[in-house]
Amino acid sequence: MKIGIIGATGYGGLELLRLLHNHPEVEQIDLFTSSDEGKSFSYKFPHTTNLYDQPLLKIDHDQLKSYDVLFASTPAGVTSRLLPPLIGKGPKLIDLSGDFRLKDTTEYERWYKKTAAPTEAIEQSAYGLTEWNSQEIRNTQLIANPGCYPTAVLLSLLPLIKEKLIDATALIIDAKSGVSGAGNTPGPMTHFSETNENLTIYKIHEHQHIPEIEQGIELFGAQKTPVTFTTHLIPMTRGIMATSYAPITSGVTEEQLVNCLKETYAGRPFVRIMNESTEFCTKQVAGSNYCDIHVKVDPRTNRATIISVIDNLVKGAAGQAVQNMNVQFGLDETTGLTQVPLFI
Ligand SMILES: NC(=O)C1=CN([C@@H]2O[C@H](COP(=O)(O)OP(=O)(O)OC[C@H]3O[C@@H](n4cnc5c(N)ncnc54)[C@H](OP(=O)(O)O)[C@@H]3O)[C@@H](O)[C@H]2O)C=CC1
Ligand SMILES: CC(=O)N[C@@H](CCC(=O)OP(=O)(O)O)C(=O)O
Q: Going from the N-terminus, what domains does the chain have, and what CATH number goes with each?
A: 2-146+315-328 (3.40.50.720), 149-312 (3.30.360.10)
Closest CA to 145 of 302, 2, 319: 319
Q: Give the ligand whose atoms come closest to the C-alpha of residue 16.
A: 1
In this prediction, the answer to ipTM > 0.95 reads yes
Kindly tell me the burial class for residue 183, based on how many C-beta atoms sit within 10 Å of its own C-beta (0-12, 13-18, 19 or more). Answer: middle
For 78-91, how does the pLDDT look when each residue is reduced to its tens digit (9 = 90+)? 999 999 999 999 99
Instruction: Please list the active-site residues.
Output: 148
Q: What is the pLDDT of residue 107?
A: 98
Helix (H) or strand (E) holding 176: strand 172-177
Q: Give the ligand whose atoms come closest to the C-alpha of residue 314.
A: 1
Q: Give the ligand whose atoms come closest to the C-alpha of residue 36.
A: 1
Mutate to test the pocket of ligand 2, among 96, 127, 149, 173 (most ligand atoms within 8 A of CB): 149
Give pLDDT < 70 ranges for the chain.
none
Q: What is the pLDDT of residue 224?
A: 87
Whether 97 lines ligand 1, by a CB cut-off of 6 Å, is yes
Chain Cα centroid distance, residue 135: 18
- For ligand 2, atom 6, the nearest C-alpha belongs to 181
Ligand 1 atom with the shortest distance to the CA of 183: 14
- Output the ligand 2 site: residues, CB below 6 A: 76, 97-98, 147-148, 177, 181-182, 208-209, 231, 233
- For ligand 1, atom 1, the nearest C-alpha belongs to 181
Distance 73 CA to ligand 1 centre (A): 5
The whole-angstrom separation of Cα 338 and Cα 296 is: 29
Helix (H) or strand (E) holding 162: helix 148-162
Ligand 2 atom with the shortest distance to the CA of 148: 9
Percent of the chain with pLDDT over 90: 97
Whether 36 lines ligand 1, by a CB cut-off of 6 Å, is yes
Number of residues that make up the chain:
344
CA distances from 288 to 127, 234, 255, 318 (A): 21, 19, 27, 10
State if pTM tops 0.90.
yes
Q: What is the pLDDT of residue 278?
A: 79
Residue 323 sits at φ, ψ, to 5 deg, of -60, -40
Distance 189 CA to ligand 2 centre (A): 13
For 143-157, how does the pLDDT look when each residue is reduced to its tens digit (9 = 90+)? 999 999 999 999 999
For 298-344, how does the pLDDT look when each residue is reduced to its tens digit (9 = 90+)? 999 999 999 999 999 999 999 999 999 999 999 999 999 999 999 99
